[in-house]
Amino acid sequence: MEKITPMVKQYLEIKSAYRDAILLFRLGDFYEMFNEDAEIASKVLNITLTRRNDMPMCGVPYHAVDAYIEKLLEAGYKVAICEQVEDPSTAKGVVKREVVRVITPGTYIESVEGGEEAELIASFLREKKDAGVALIDIGEGKAIVFEGALDQVFDLFEKVGPKTVILPEGQRIEDVGSFVEGCDHWMFEEDFAKGVVKEHFGKEPDALGLYGRKLALRALGALVYYLKDVLYAPVAHIKEVSFYVKKGYAQIDAATARHLELVRNLREGTEEGTLFQILNRTLTPMGARKLREAILHPLLDASLIKERLNAVHVLAERDLTPFLKGTGDLARIVSRIESGLAKPRELLALKEFLKRIPKIKAFLEDAEAEFIKRVVGDLAEFPNVVELIDKGIEDDPDSPFIIKNGFDEELDRLKGVKQHSDKWLKEYEQKERERTGIPTLKVRYNKVFGYYIEVTKAHLDKIPAHYERKQTLVNAERFITPELKRVEQEILSADERIQELEGKIYKDILAEVASYGEPLRRIVDAVGTLDFLNSLARVAVERKYVKPKIVETGEIIVKGGRHPVVEWMLQEGFVPNDTVLKPGEIHIITGPNMSGKSTYVRQVALIVLLAQIGSFVPAGAAVITPVDRIMTRIGTADNLAQGQSTFMVEMAETANILNNATEKSLIVLDEVGRGTSTYDGLAIAWATAEYIATKIKAKTLFATHYHELTSLAQSYSVVKNYRVDVKEWKDRVIFTHRLVPGGADKSYGIYVAQLAGVPEEVVERAKAILAQLESRSDTALPLHEHPAIVRLKMLNLDKVTPLEALMILEELKRVVQEGKDEVLS
């Protein structure tokens, strides 16, 4: 058995403490991985796998490690960074190494640029039917807490998509598509959490608003401890806690976000073909994140919506694109500055944007929109920060230095020594060539041997006696001289001192800029808001959207409405439709498959949502009353992976609507009841529509293939029938995609089958079967019964006194005479 080297022994000892992570082990200019880590990394990173002493190994250069870490995180792996923590040149024996950072998805702010989604890491704990959640975005410097029912937490997770979730060992959470890690229970204890929170935020938990929110407090304490003391993540810049509250926003639950494909499509879960994609003309990651947040949290207050709309109206005429282009992710830059991790190029990027602020303020100075004036008010100017970075940080990409000449006298002197030495070496090389008569003589440097003279073997007979042999190669020899040794000492001493002094000066500059962290964050937030509003304005101009009129009278009126995503995908030929939806009305929409029912009901929901985020809308004109929530049950979004059938999902989502919608909500139902038998499905659809009409009284669009539902309009004045118009011509069906009053009298299912390419023999046989079925009266589905008849059937005569019977009879007579809508209780 081969003896284990001290370095391998050190690696194995460190790895034993981080078995669940890919360990990046620093060896000189590379991070090396060994054994199973190397086998995994070589596949994920597409790098060569080699062997040393029968150990699989691979490595990546330290200067490019960020990109490789990102790939490992994207593949779902945890990464531990093991650094050399002492100078190899002064080390006795094996260089001391320690793990200085553990990284999970969502915790790596050193990555080049943040994405369009928030990089959230979450903690979660449950007690019975309640749960506490803490969310931290290290890049944005935000901490958010929430406490509520389990289903609310799962809904929250589905919408925000945390990259990592920690929870007490033994607890489970529904699949959230995240890296999930179980942690020791003591991390979630209340007393421990109080201590962690007080130490980190410098305030008592009650002062942070956590009084009475014990689950949220415990989740926050565990998460802060996990980030600081388990991952060694930079979180010192996170100083405030906010609450994930629903007040002031219309509710969009995860099912609605999914059905309407707001930020992820139903097919692959990507942005392709989503509302977010077609609205996203943002130029900064902060603006994109603001847009995503606004789509998932529409405004509720009419005055705030009007303010946003006025701001978009102003920016439609004043394009901010030239001022925002090339800005970069300022939020992550500020976080890295506050954490002491920012690179010089990031300080330069911050400086360049700060120099634009006076121009942006001047451009928007006379903007007649209060919202823009408030946002611009947060764009503070920092001439001292600009000057500090401008004078201190080298902006020449070809310069080998970080700090500019003229910033520090001692540093300038050392640079002079270094630059003089470089000149001396070139002159020395030329002088030695001439003195020895060796035209190919070279003066070179490497980290192992320092400076040396290299001579090919063809000229070894010309070597002077004072040349001291240093190394023999296949085709050359390397030498040193006393003179070269002396200069080498000067150069290396200057290099070492330059690195040391530049590091100190750079840290001082970072600390000075970091002292402006709070106002810089306000600037970042303002820039994200302006970018988000500018994106809405660009879309409005390019696609001829109109400014909706926001009212509080209850109705939704749209003239020539268009589906924003379908219109964008078609480019031309989209058929617009009008909508007049009054308070409490239910529109029963019938028509064949492929006729456009589903597109229409989604269209109305999206137009309302667009108006409530402050966007112009795809229509000729629109009058919108803000709704308190948009609730949808659309399509057949199976949840089979969690053991739920299509019909169970459909009923759970329908139940959620019936239990939570209010008269100020907008409900969109598409084919409720189709997941079961015809009679069951019709009964459920019918009962659902009746319940909404009589109990909830919410504005509702109900697309259905059950034509029998159109008879509800005979009993309920709030029910209105519409159909998607179809033209028949020479045994062909033409879909006009236009919505007209009235109910459909045919399903046209066989025609749709014909259009889809079903063999002619099958189509003809289907026609024959349909004719047989329609000829049998006993196959006709029952129509809606009058409320008085329903009440009579429910009456138990054995339990009614003669006087009560007379009173009921009198009431039923009045209902029949007046045509009263509701069923008596």
List residues forming the annotated binding site for ATP.
591-598
Q: Residue 122 carries which DSSP code?
A: E
CA–CA distance, 525 with 293 (Å, rounded to integer): 13
**Burial letters 419-429, b for 16+ CB under 10 A, else e:** eebeebbeebe
Contacting residues for 309 by C-beta, under 8 A, at least 6 apart: 547, 548, 550, 611, 614, 615, 616
Contacting residues for 752 by C-beta, under 8 A, at least 6 apart: 592, 593, 594, 733
Torsion of CA 618, 624, 626, 628, to 10 degrees: -80
Contacting residues for 773 by C-beta, under 8 A, at least 6 apart: 779
Longest dimension (CA), the chain: 135
Q: What type of residue sits at position 137? A: D
Residue 570 corresponds to which tokens in the numbers above?
Answer: 């078609």
Binding-site residues sit at 591-598
For the residues of 662-688, what is the DSSP string, one character each?
-TT-EEEEESTTTTS-HHHHHHHHHHH
Measured between its terminal Cα atoms, the distance across the chain in Å is 88
Q: Beta strands 130-137 and 142-149: pairing type?
A: antiparallel
Q: What share of the chain is helix, strand, coil (3-state, %, to 5)?
A: 45, 20, 35
Contacting residues for 32 by C-beta, under 8 A, at least 6 apart: 24, 25, 26, 38, 57, 58, 59
Give the phi and the psi of residue 471 in degrees, each rounded to 5: -160, 145
Give the phi and the psi of residue 587 in degrees, each rounded to 5: -100, 115
**Burial letters 319-357, b for 16+ CB under 10 A, else e:** ebeebbeebbbbbbbbbbbbbeebebebbebbbbbbebb
Judge contact between 704 and 590, C-beta under 8 A. Answer: yes
Judge contact between 339 and 236, C-beta under 8 A. Answer: yes
Judge contact between 668 and 632, C-beta under 8 A. Answer: yes
Number of helices (H), then strands (E), belonging to the chain: the values are 26, 27
